[in-house]
A and B are shown apart, each in its own frame.
Chain A
């Protein structure tokens, strides 16, 4: 398949030495995990979840706070973050799907939960430092044979770490999509009432999809916060959720890895177009509008269509 595309990516840092480009790629890979995992819930199962950014932020806070208060390593902290997000996702997902909320209502309720969590984080100053966010110097560490335990610092190390992470994410989600479970997700997206009458437990599969997607967001959240060494309640904002949706749509909903292309465009954009913040906002808005109206299947979808036609 498209496995071959990964190989050149391994070689990039040897060819490109510009730190800005490598940094953009790191952000792209991490945002890619966010967008790919979101696409499982949205593109493949057809549920518009506005909780994804909340999962992203919750894991970031959980990872950092557990490292501080429990003295564990980053990797264990990330596991704590993932477990915490899994638990919350199960609860919220069970509530939403048990009451059979669909489409708009599901989106709004997930948004409501996301906003509530944001408000709690914002106001629980003693624990989360509120709106000031948290600046820190902790980093993940790796054990390297011959050198012992070293901290992960610098763009180069983060490049390979995030590349491996996004590759694993794509692999994992691809397995899910192509498994029997993935077919059930597709049936729910296409006609969930029909799926129900054919014996598919719609509630269970929606919940599994929701949780599986949020786990990806959690991993992205831990990585991202430790890359920039900063966490704040804006991780939970509606803008974040919307940016994630934009990435998935821009890249394309039909293919597991397509959202990464969307992540690349939206991440690189502010750097490529060197204008002030307001103009960037304007261009961002125009891109969203033009993509939906002219390229509903996203960039990858468009390319795939052209290749099929040729």
Chain B
């Protein structure tokens, strides 16, 4: 029994990091451009498909396919930001609708090219680690480490580099930052591309673990938004913790309740936390 719980716990942590990377994208986008971009889920899905296509279709080695996919998705995120989201800055509702429209467009394109048939990537890193009787697939551990490093890197970049602190300053007081020479247009475009890249990374890693369909984006963006909000939108490390909380809650919860209720844990936690701490768990940036 203990083994089961620990196993689910570890699994939950790993799944939680996937939620966290999306949550990070959500929080960055909201802080700098003032909208929640639901299309990050679609970007994740695209990241998965592009990675799979490069790796299984074009024969590119996986460790190269992923960064390539990330770059593609980041570029797409930039294009879409400049063409569309540039006109919905700080307008939550307009941004929401545009992102939904964008999701439909992206999902439609993927459906046309690859249909709904689930695709499976070849095993990138077969084999498992045995940790005291608990089995952890090696690839999952790799995914966890990569995502954790990226999140830490993001946190470091935001707090220690000039560009990062400029971003922080902007998120706190846009007008003041602009007056001090922060090029807000460039900043917003940059964050949009970066957030898309994060989502793409999540997708590329996801592809090595699970089968992919055009629908995977929607569940992840929902969990990502949940994690970002329950942690307090604007908190970088908070999105990590939020993702983990939801992942673990689902993992451990599925031992006791039918897995059909999995999606509910995140929701219930979210509602409870918002009611008692309306700004989220880690409200102050």
- A: residues with CB less than 8 A from B are 48, 95, 99-101, 103-105, 107-109, 112-113, 115-116, 119, 122-123, 238, 242, 245-246, 249, 277-279, 281-282, 284-289, 291-293, 296
Q: Contact between A101 and B274 (Cβ–Cβ < 8 Å)? A: yes
Q: Contact between A282 and B97 (Cβ–Cβ < 8 Å)? A: no
> Is there a chain A Cβ closer than 8 Å to B88's Cβ?
yes
Closest to A289 in B: B101
Q: Contact between A112 and B270 (Cβ–Cβ < 8 Å)? A: yes
Closest to B218 in A: A238
Q: Contact between A119 and B105 (Cβ–Cβ < 8 Å)? A: no
A281 to B274, CA, bound (A): 34
Q: Kindly list chain A residues whose C-beta atoms are within 8 Å of the C-beta of B98.
A: 288-289, 292-293
The residues in B between 96 and 118 inclusive whose CB is less than 8 angstroms from any CB of A are 96-98, 100-109, 111-112
A287 to B96, CA, bound (A): 14
How would you classify the secondary structure of chain A's contact residues: helix, strand, loop or mixed? Answer: helix
The residues in B between 112 and 155 inclusive whose CB is less than 8 angstroms from any CB of A are 112
Q: Contact between B278 and A285 (Cβ–Cβ < 8 Å)? A: no
A214 to B128, CA, bound (A): 52
Q: Contact between A281 and B267 (Cβ–Cβ < 8 Å)? A: no
A123 and B260 contact, Cβ closer than 8 Å, known pairs A116-B267, A278-B112, A282-B109: yes
Q: Contact between A105 and B101 (Cβ–Cβ < 8 Å)? A: no
> Is there a chain A Cβ closer than 8 Å to B211's Cβ?
no
A285 to B271, CA, bound (A): 30
Q: Kindly list chain B residues whose C-beta atoms are within 8 Å of the C-beta of A108.
A: 225-226, 229, 270, 274
Q: Contact between B258 and A296 (Cβ–Cβ < 8 Å)? A: no
A141 to B170, CA, bound (A): 62
> Is there a chain A Cβ closer than 8 Å to B61's Cβ?
no
The 4 nearest A-B residue pairs measured at CB: A285-B104, A288-B101, A282-B108, A289-B101
Q: Contact between A242 and B261 (Cβ–Cβ < 8 Å)? A: no
- The smallest C-beta distance from B77 to any residue of chain A, in angstroms, reads 16
A199 to B106, CA, bound (A): 48
Closest to A276 in B: B112
Closest to B225 in A: A108
A291 to B101, CA, bound (A): 10
> Is there a chain A Cβ closer than 8 Å to B172's Cβ?
no
Q: Kindly list chain A residues whose C-beta atoms are within 8 Å of the C-beta of B260.
A: 119, 122-123
Q: Contact between B92 and A285 (Cβ–Cβ < 8 Å)? A: no
A119 and B111 contact, Cβ closer than 8 Å, known pairs A101-B278, A108-B225: no
Q: Contact between A285 and B105 (Cβ–Cβ < 8 Å)? A: yes
